[in-house]
Structures are given as structure tokens and as C-alpha cells.
Structure 1
Amino acid sequence: MRRETAVVLGGSVAGLCAAGVLARHFDRVIVLERDRLPADARHRRGVPQSKHPHFLLNSGRRAIGEIFPGFEEALIAAGGMHLMPSMDAAYCENDGWAPRKSGTMTMVYSSRVLIERVLRDKVRELPAVEIREGATVTGLRSTAAGTPGGRVEGVGYRVGDEEIHLDADLVVDALGRGSSVADWLGADGWSAPPERTLDAKVTYVSRWYDLPPAERRSETWWWKHLVVTPTQDTGDHPDEHEFLSNFFPIEGDRAIVCMGSWGIDMPRETEAFEAAVDRVRATTFGRATRDCTPTSEVHVTRSTGNKWRRYDLLEVPPVGLVCVGDSICAFNPFYAQGMSSAARSALLLDELLRGRETTGLAFCREFLARQKKSLDVPWMLAMARDQAYDFATGTEIVAPLRRKAAARLSWPIFNAINAASREDAYVEGTFAQVFNLDKSLREMALDPRFWFGIARYKLRRRLGRTVVPGGFDERRDPPGIDYTGYTGGAGAPPSTETGRGGDRVGV
């Protein structure tokens, strides 16, 4: 059934995905965006986080592909890279470099600004969608607010000095974690949604670089993506050993060098950033960065707390309003869940609009219930780590014993999963599903086959019967040997032509 007008507040990833599905159900979809949108892939004021690395998880890739057929192909044609992390990335884990090996998970790497540019191109192909730029939303208009028969019926916005009002059959809030929609609802008479929060004091800093020409790179530079996880050493070491560090490849033969931490003051000036890069515990990280040419200043982000506005808990939710992306649930960006969660919510909106004659109270409640189930998956993942810090604040902090258990066990469990994944396809595939939001952490935790695989690997390791080696010396370059199909024994691994690297620790 076609409806007349939908209004989307915000023209970033969440808003564009929402506009894409609304165009299937409404005669007119109006996107209100405060910024003037660039024609190409450039940063803009309304998306400061675009200066940092962004992962588009597999569930998000699929969701966007369903909303905009051909999206992934267009992103790759524009410069995005389709890579297999287990083969194209070098991971420095607790005990050193992980072995390189084929896996089930692939990802498309690009900058956030390129993702948005491709999405804007797709949206502009839809005749029902109109993007109004330079439009600052100023409020909502409701009737009988807070009652079962109440409804959000429109929005007000400003362009220059002109105040404009729009009637709407449905309003979608995609204004991000700083959205004022909850305040506007309260001013109209709706109840404020309860909020769940947890801020683990994450700060991260990024700088953009041009890669050196291929002929000038070391023969051990086989990798595209470089990741260094925080140390678990409890002795004296530089703060930089506590950083989660990424050398993240993007289009145009460039990389974003990003370092972040929980509760540590991060370097904000150029000289301090470059010095910190050299102190990251894997020496390849600093050397590779020094071989590149910087093209930006140091970008800093501290707005990283988890925040979930629980509209689903309201006795009478605001009918005629849907919230997607960070406006409903914002995550610690370390976990790369935001874009994918937004796309999943948009796809859910599409499913519920099909065949319905109204978007009344029953529709609103069903959408919120199903969205809550979808958001539970990434929220649980974010809580599992961020609740481990005694300096975390918010409604979701946990008792000291539980916090200590999370702090003590989270990284060792992560290490055990990664190690077992090298030799157990079921463990590898299950964890990939959880990482990509295709399976919940609870499902993984209750899966006996998954934990059997980890226990079996740990026993085999204790008995010296594991096949694929690990723990290559972090003070040397990551080994480029491909261990795919390696069955052990005295023979060499299947392929040694992809680069040379570090020795194993203690060898």
C-alpha cells in the first residue's frame, strides 16, 4: 500500500538507508540534512567520526545490498577493497603475530566518506526521494501527545531565516547520538524514554596517510590491514602497549592510522602522535607509518559511550515516529557496529511496512519489539567488554566481582577463540557470525560444540599436537606464509611465496 509522505531527519548512513526503504512505500520521501552535501567523498561537519576507520560488517553489507542492489559492486568500483582479513590482515595478538590462513569471513574496506557518497548516489536514483540540504530541524508537531490516540504528525525545520513545517505520515529520526528528538517529544507531552548507558572512557585518535609506492615497500609488507591488540602483560610497559591500534587501508592507496584506549589520555598533537606510533608494541606498526606520507592533522574522538534510548519500554510510545542508527542506540565505536545496526533497522522497517494499511500503535509497538531484539545482539557484545572497567560510568555498570571477572577473562577468551579458530572450522565460523551480528553472544555462549572445539584445541596445544603455529615474535615483521591446508609434519607450509616474516617466540 502506498502512503503519501515520510520525512527522514538526517542524511547520513542511517538516514539514507531509511530513505531507501521508505521510497518503496511512500509517494514522497523528504530527507532533511543540515549540511550541504559534497558531490564526492569528502568530510563534512555533521559526520566528524568519518575521519576514523569504519567497518561495514557482513550483516550490514547484506542489509544495504537488499536496500540498494548493486551497492557493494559500486563501492568496489569507486575504490573499496574486497579482502579476506585472515589472509590480507596481520594480527598481533597477546602472544605475538597470528599465522596467516584462509577463513570464511570477507570484508569491504573503504573510508566512511566513500560509503556515504555511494549511498547518496543510490538514493538520488530514487524518484520518490528528495534531499533538502541546509535544513536544520527545529522540532516535531504532535496531536494528543502521550495518549493511545496520539501521534507525531510533522516536523519543523529552518533554511536560512525561513521556518518551514512539513506534514508527515511517518517521521524517521536519524540525527545520531546527539539527536534532540526525545527533548522535542517531551516538550509536546510525550513521556521520556528510559536510557541505558555505559561509558568506558574510550578515546581514539586517527591520522590519514598516503602509502608509499609498492616498489618502495619492504618485501615483508604483504599485508593490507595491520591490527595490534592491547597487551595483557601486567608489568611495566609504555601506555602505548595498552592501545588497540589499526593501520586501516582505504581507497586511493591510503591508510588511516588509528590508536585508541580505554581510560588513557591519547596523543592529540602531531609530534606526540608520531612518537606514540613508534611505541606501539609491534614495531612493524611504527615503521610502516613512518614509511607513509601524512595528509591530515590528528583527529580525536571522545564521544564513545554506549547509549540506548528505550522507546520500547514506554507504555505509550510516540506513534508516527521511528528512530534508527545512533539516535536509538549508539555504541562504543571500537566495536564497528553502528552502520550495520542502522541498516538492519532500516530493513526491519521495510519488512513491517509491507502490506500494512496503517502505521498506528500496533505497528509502532511491533517495530520497537523487533528492533529491540535486533539491537540486543550488538548491545550485549559492547557490554561484555566495556563493563570490565572500574572507571566506567552509567546505568549498566556491574558489581565488582562481575567486573573483575569480565576484566580477567574477556581478552583470554578472545585469544582462545582466535587460536582454536585456526584449526576448527566450526569455532571460526561461529565467531565470525557473532562478530558480524549474525548470531548473538548468548547463542555462542550456550553452544556446546563451540566450547568443545576450544577445549579440544587447548588440550591439543598442551600435548604439543596443534598443527598451525602461532605466537610469531612481535618485534619482527609479521610472517607472510600461507598456512591454509597445512597439516603439520616436517614439510614446509603449502606456500612460502607471499612474504617472509618474524620467527616464533622462543625459536
Structure 2
Amino acid sequence: MRGKTAVVLGGSVAGLCAAGVLANHFDKVIVLERDQLPPDAEHRRGVPQSKHPHFLLNSGRRAIGEIFPGFEEALIAAGGMLLMPSLDAAYCENDGWAARKSSSMTMVYSSRVLIERVLRDKARELPAIEIREGVSVTGLRTTEGGTTAGRVEGVDFRTGDESGSLPADLVVDALGRGSSVADWLSEAGWPAAAEKTLDAKVTYTSRWYDLPPADRRPASWWWKHLVVTPTQDTGDHPEEHEFLSNFFPIEGDRAIVCMGAWGLRMPREVDAFEAAADRVRAAPFGQAMHDCTPTSEVHLTRSTGNKWRRFDLLDRPPLGLVSVGDSICAFNPFYAQGMSSAARSALILAELLRGRDALDAAFFREFLTRQKKSLDVPWMLAMARDQAYDFATGSEVVPAWRRRIAARLSWPVFNAITATSREDDYVERTFTQVFNLDKSLREMATDPRFWLRIARYKVRELFGRTVVPHGFDDQQDPPGTDFTGITKANAHAYARDDRSPASETDLVND
């Protein structure tokens, strides 16, 4: 044991993952949660983003599974769906629908509220963890703030009309984007931590739907997930063609219809929402929405800026305190990095607690150093796209020439990677690792084998020698043919869709 009591501020994904780790090293782990937690998978005030789709990346799945063994199995038993996106999702890319094909990536689809409910159930199985609900944290208890010996020794809190304090050997800040911990530290004598920020003005809007009964769904619905990427057409087109749109499946035969964009106003009323979905550039998106039954109002979120509080840069960071999740680093939610990054930070904490005997200055310095290295991976991915916009604001805005390069190259490079991935296992595996935070963007960008394979694919494409078709008409239903295993030798055995831009001759021309 590293101490008697650890206190976790916040009972969402980041806080529960931290609590699961601490339960192995402290006599008691007390989680202070402002909300009254629902017994089932329900929305609550403290997690407004739960009304939108959430991806749990592979690295996050593994991390949570290590913290709470059996988590994934429990999530699936509760209604989560283990799917292979390349086979079970229809993707509308720049030139139309992509072909279906197996890949190395799987994902468990569910709502955010179900993920949290399963995590709460797992946390409550651990006798060391106590979750106190309806508790608002009002401040930190500190000594010698800002000095070498400066330490956080507990927290102040309020429950209803009553106030109190709670001593702790370790405090974990998991209060999210709105955490006041940095302000409390400044009041106690620590210098303000530097902040890296970039707000690309992303807004997204969602509505929940019940799917039609299985025997009444359209015959064309082989897919579970429908994705429409923004157009790359620079000509005149409806604003909705700029949307990144998801028909996202969740438990209970339901789906979340979500549309988002950089720098555009998004609909928040029902009529405007439905009209916008009908104008998304792939016609089946709006059609699918109308085939379902709405069960919620329209939910809109604007709090999407990237923000990294750099406690690792303090000369004398506070002892007795670590921050995880959005409290330390919040990302543009479009990139689905938040939950996985929080779980990865919890694993770093677990590794250090196993390897060190004392919660001394060296412990907290090493945690911040290793956490910074972990957060660099998703941060670089978020910057790669969000720095392309002229209207972005924050400390990480780049010069105009870099914005122009990013804006001109980001989608074409993405298109080249995804197209090559359908025919090249190495490119597919590498990109999957980067997407899932198992490999950094820098590693991919400096991998000559990766780029040589993409260049080879583009040359083959130029001469009509690629095998897997692409560019299926986005005004028609996405084709359901599974092209897994297609080669130039067996291309004739695959059923051709008459909406494909390629002919069977093109397939065997390799």
C-alpha cells in the first residue's frame, strides 16, 4: 500500500479508471461525484457530451480491460456490439462509397452512458472503492504551496448545505474540462501552469433514434454504422456537404444521428436538423434517419476546443496530486481520443505505483513526464487537422503558409491512406495503430515503407491496375459486396454492382 486514503474528484470514465488503479494500492479510494448517479445507463447533468457518439479506441479498450478485467465482456453482455468497422460500416469518402473489406480493427459500439454504467458496476465490485454522490468539491487542502515541499493533502467539499474536508495521501483530479484545480493551485501559491490551446470552432449536433424492427428494415441495410466525410469539392455546394456525419449504432436497437462541422452553425431545432440530414451529400444518410423513430430532442455541443494544461512544465509541480482525462488534456471530440487517453493515463499511474515505494517528488515528476509522452500521441493527431483552419484560435495557431499546406493536404493524404489500406495490409495495420493511439503520427510520418507502399498504390491506380473498386455512387445505397480476399486471379468471382465506376475488366487488369 502507498497510503491509507486516495480521493478521486469526479466519477466519470477518467475518475473511475483512476479509482480502479488506486484500489490496488490504498486502503480506501473515495470517489467524489457531484451528480446523483443513475442506476442504469442514463444521461446526467455532469456529462452533457453523453448525448453524442463515443468511440472507445483499441488502446482504451485494452487499458480499461487491464484496470477492470472482464470490462469488454460485460459491456457486450449489456448490449454493446463488437463489430469490424471496415465490414460493418459504410463509409462515404471523397469519391463515393468505399468497398467493404475485412481489416485488423474491431470496435465495441455502445453509448457513453452504457460505458459509464458498466464501469461503475466494475468499480463497485472492488471493496476499497467508495463512491459518494451529490458531493461538490470546493477547494484543495495544501501545505507550502509553490515550494519544493508543496503538497496537496486533501480536499474541501460541500454536500447539500453541509461543508467538510477530507484528508488524502493522493488526490486525483478527474473533474473534466471545467476543473477548478488549476485555479485552486494558483491561489495556494503555485505558479499558473502554461496552457496549449487550439479551438477549431467545431460544433456538432445529435438526436437519438429507435431502429425499425429487424423484419421491417430496408433490404439494403447490411451496414450497422454509416459515415459520410466532408466534401472536398471547392465549388458551390450546400453547407451540409461540409458535415462529418454519423449514423452511429448503440445498444438496444438504437442509433445516434450526429452531424458536425468546423466553423459552421449547426441545427438545434428538430425541423432544421431533419432538413440538414436530408442535404448531407450521401442521400442514404437522410433516408436512414427517416426510416427510424426519434426518441430525443436535438442536442448541440460547442465546447470542443483542444486544451492541454502543462503541469509537467512547472519547476515544482504539486506533490500529492495527479490530473487525468479532460482535466489535464481535452481534445476536439471529433477525434474520439478522450476516454482512451484517460485510461492510458490511469495505466501510467498503475505502473508507477507498482514500481515505487514512496509518493515523493520523483514519483510525481516521473508521472508527469510519462503522461506527457502519452498525451503527445493524440495531441499531434488533433493538431494535424485543426491547425488547417483560418478561423482557429489559441496558442497553437500556425502561420498562414502552414495552414494552407495542412488544408490542401490533409484530406487527400487521408484518402490515399484509406484507399491503399484496402489493398495493402502493412498500410492498413499502421494506420489502424495510429488511429487507435498505439503508434504516433510522427512514427507513421517517418516510416519510408509506409509511404513507399502508398506511392506504389497511386502509380497502380494511375494505370488502372488496382484491385479493390471504389467510388460507388453516393446517391445510391452503399454496395454490400464483401471484397475480402479479392485478387486479380479471382476478381471475376465477385458480384459486380452496376453503380460501380469500375468494370470487371478493371478488376482483372492488374
Same fold (TM over 0.5): yes
Q: Show the counterpart of 2:499.
A: 503
Cα distance between partner residues in 2 of 1:223 and 1:72 = 22
Q: 1:25 to 1:420 in 2, by over 3 A?
A: same
- 1:357 positional shift: 2.2
Structure 1 residue 308 corresponds to structure 2 residue 304: no
Q: Residue 146 of structure 1 contacts residue 191 of structure 1 at CA under 8 Å; is this kept in 2?
A: yes
- 1:355 positional shift: 3.8
Q: 1:502 to 1:189 in 2, by over 3 A?
A: farther
Q: Show the counterpart of 1:72.
A: 72
Cα distance between partner residues in 2 of 1:88 and 1:394 = 38
Cα distance between partner residues in 1 of 2:18 and 2:490 = 56
Which deviations, in whole Å up to 9, do the C-alpha atoms of 1:24-77 show, x marking residues without a partner?
000010000000001100000000000000000000000000000000000000
- 1:359 positional shift: 1.0
Q: Show the counterpart of 1:372.
A: 372
Q: Residue 31 of structure 1 contacts residue 131 of structure 1 at CA under 8 Å; is this kept in 2?
A: yes
The 5 Å alignment of 1:299-378 reads: 299-378=299-378
Cα distance between partner residues in 2 of 1:215 and 1:31 = 45
Q: Show the counterpart of 2:107.
A: 107
Q: Residue 199 of structure 1 contacts residue 305 of structure 1 at CA under 8 Å; is this kept in 2?
A: yes
Q: Show the counterpart of 1:471.
A: 471
Q: Show the counterpart of 1:145.
A: 145
Q: Show the counterpart of 1:421.
A: 421
Q: Show the counterpart of 2:256.
A: 256
- 1:354 positional shift: 1.1
- 1:216 positional shift: 1.6
Q: Show the counterpart of 2:280.
A: 280
Cα distance between partner residues in 2 of 1:90 and 1:504 = 15
Q: Residue 220 of structure 1 contacts residue 501 of structure 1 at CA under 8 Å; is this kept in 2?
A: no
Q: Show the counterpart of 2:26.
A: 26
The 5 Å alignment of 1:145-294 reads: 145-294=145-294
Q: Show the counterpart of 2:506.
A: none
Letter in 1 for 2:37: L
485-494 vs 16-25, greater mean Cα deviation: 485-494
Cα distance between partner residues in 2 of 1:333 and 1:31 = 25
SS at 2:91's partner residue? strand
Cα distance between partner residues in 2 of 1:368 and 1:93 = 39
State the TM-score, normalized to the length of structure 2. 0.97
Structure 2 gap ranges (5+): 504-510
Q: Show the counterpart of 2:51.
A: 51
Q: 1:501 to 1:50 in 2, by over 3 A?
A: farther
Q: Residue 79 of structure 2 contacts residue 251 of structure 2 at CA under 8 Å; is this kept in 1?
A: yes
- 1:401 positional shift: 0.4
SS at 2:326's partner residue? helix
Letter in 2 for 1:180: S
Which deviations, in whole Å up to 9, do the C-alpha atoms of 1:423-475 show, x marking residues without a partner?
10000000000000000000000001100110000000011110010010101
Which deviations, in whole Å up to 9, do the C-alpha atoms of 1:230-284 show, x marking residues without a partner?
0000011000000000000000000000000000000110000000000000000
Which deviations, in whole Å up to 9, do the C-alpha atoms of 1:326-364 show, x marking residues without a partner?
000000000000000000000100000114221121111
Cα distance between partner residues in 1 of 2:304 and 2:114 = 22
Q: Residue 28 of structure 1 contacts residue 129 of structure 1 at CA under 8 Å; is this kept in 2?
A: yes
SS at 1:367's partner residue? helix
- 1:490 positional shift: 7.6
Q: Residue 2 of structure 2 contacts residue 358 of structure 2 at CA under 8 Å; is this kept in 1?
A: no
Q: Residue 468 of structure 1 contacts residue 488 of structure 1 at CA under 8 Å; is this kept in 2?
A: no
- 1:310 positional shift: 0.1
Cα distance between partner residues in 2 of 1:97 and 1:501 = 12
Structure 1 gap ranges (5+): none
Q: Residue 481 of structure 1 contacts residue 493 of structure 1 at CA under 8 Å; is this kept in 2?
A: no
State the TM-score, normalized to the length of structure 1. 0.98
Q: Residue 308 of structure 1 contacts residue 330 of structure 1 at CA under 8 Å; is this kept in 2?
A: yes
Cα root mean square deviation, aligned:
1.1
Q: Residue 91 of structure 1 contacts residue 227 of structure 1 at CA under 8 Å; is this kept in 2?
A: yes
